[in-house]
Structure 1
Amino acid sequence: MNKKLAAALSGGAVLVVAVSGCSSSDSQEPDPKLVAWAKTVCDAVPAQDTKIRSANASIAAIATNSNLPPKDAKKTYVQAFTDMAEGYKALSDALSGAGAPPGVEDGAKRQQDAVKSLAGLAASYTELKKKVDGLDTKDQGKFARGLKEVAGQSKEIGEQSSTGTKVLKRLEQEDVKQAMAKQPSCTVAASATAKAPAAAG
């Protein structure tokens, strides 16, 4: 059961990949205002990227441990979902605080869509955390059934994550991508993402 849950949740880090996947070979210099905007967003990425990746890893790690007591499994899931919720909320707040990317056509809508998507993911993980928090660990059968429900809900999060990735890719096109490519914080997160092993499942 844990394995299915880990597989369903392993897409959670995809959004950070989209935000931090910055590389550009274009020699044209982006608008300095846009570079300053990108710095505000990118500086928030590495810490949250690490937090979300770590949460995914802890879920993947317990997926292979069928002897893990329900109490320990519950504790791991609750912590992982809390970290994911906080990570996506912080990214959403950073993007919201940065405002619309200056000089970008349709920039305000793209930015708002991305903020909404990240905030939605944060809310979904908070909901999962509450559900796992309420599971009865004294009865292994009940706990397993409860996790099955959580796994079902986590598939919806996978779909949310896919939609969010598209939304963020729309935000980071053209000039925005070039501006982000100039930020060391985005480059570091993108490099970590590229080196990260595939999630278990």
Structure 2
Amino acid sequence: MNKKLVAALSGGAALMLALTGCSDDDQGKKNDDWAKKFCDPAQAQFKRIQDANAAMQSADAGNMESKKVQQTDSQAFGQISGAYAELAKALDQAGPPPVDGGDKSQKDAVQELNSLSKGYADLKKKVDGLDTKDKLKFADGLRTLSNGINKLNEQSEAAFRKLEAGDVGKAMARQKGCQAQKSGASKGPSVKPSAAS
């Protein structure tokens, strides 16, 4: 599996962590309270995604046989799928952020997280079906999966941008649970797969 594929995998997490804000207002405490409701339970899920990516990077670091790479990737995809499902639950339980349009932003982001969860579950099935006996076919299969991951991450960007806009994003950035994995987040969905595996 190529390193750029692994980098693409954490794009969804990077979207949650690339938090920026535009202005301050008097709702600071409400925003902080809301962000804490989401970020505290989210921290464990960000770690699951980071750990899954680390496992795939380890599989890619050496000359691991295709079957072992397949098993590692399959387990990681399952782990990432579960993490996104749990992030959707955490966001649903946090309720809408206390801003104009917060209800729609939250619903859109929950839908996208659930979509990412389903997408990674589908990728797990696909990687399980790859032919590991033929290295070239296996590498081609991984490249196809990389394209699928990029598409999944691109679909979620708009909803996260709305959720993370302005003071809500600033509040999320102040929460330990949303900061913890920043150093482990990669470049995200702009990464394109390379020809080598």
Q: Would you say same fold, with TM above 0.5?
A: yes
| Cα pair 1:55 1:83 within 8 Å, conserved | yes
Deviations 1:19-66 (A, max 9, x none): 23346696645353332221111112322222112212222332343x
- Provide the rounded CA distance (Å) in 1 between the counterparts of 2:187 and 2:164: 24
* 2:100 alignment partner in structure 1: 105
Change (3 A) 1:167 1:23: closer
Identity %: 30
Unaligned 5+ segments in structure 1 are none
Whole-angstrom distance in 1 between the partners of 2:27 and 2:15: 20
Q: Of residues 27, 34, 57 in structure 1, which corresponds to 2:31?
A: 34
Further displaced range: 106-115 or 26-35: 26-35
Query: TM-score, normalised to structure 2's length?
Result: 0.80
- Structure 2: stretches of 5+ with no match in the other structure: none
RMSD of Structure 2 on Structure 1 (CA): 2.9
Match of 2:151, SS state, is helix
Establish whether residue 126 from structure 1 lines up as the match of residue 118 from structure 2.
no
Counterpart CA distance in 2 for 1:197 and 1:167 is: 18
- CA separation in 2, counterparts of 1:197 and 1:37? 27
CA distance change for structure 1 residues 71 and 18 in 2, over 3 Å: closer, same or farther? closer
CA distance in 1, matches of 2:167, 2:103: 14
CA distance 1:188–1:41, shift in 2 (3 Å): same
User: Aligned equivalents of 1:90 and 1:159: distance in 2?
Assistant: 21
Change (3 A) 1:144 1:132: farther
Taking a change above 3 Å as real, the CA distance of residues 86 and 51 of structure 1, as seen in their structure-2 partners, is: same
Query: Could you say if the C-alpha distance between residues 135 and 189 of structure 1 is closer, same or farther in structure 2, counting changes exceeding 3 Å?
Result: closer
Residue 176 (structure 1) aligned to one of 155, 168, 173: 168
Q: Secondary structure at the match of 2:180?
A: helix
Q: TM-score, normalised by structure 1?
A: 0.78
The number of aligned residues is 191
Paired residue type of 2:116: L
Task: Give the whole-Å Cα distance in 1 for the aligned partners of 2:81 and 2:131.
Answer: 22
Structure 1 CA distance for aligned equivalents of residues 53 and 155 of structure 2? 19
- How far did 1:105 drift? 1.3
> Take 1:115 and 1:33, find their aligned partners in 2: how far apart are those partners?
20
Offset, 1:132: 2.4
- Bigger mean CA deviation after superposition, 20-29 or 88-97: 20-29
Q: Write the distance in 1 (CA, Å) between the matches of 2:51 and 2:187.
A: 12
Q: For 1:89, which of 62, 72, 85 is the aligned residue?
A: 85
Residue 16 (structure 1) shift: 2.0
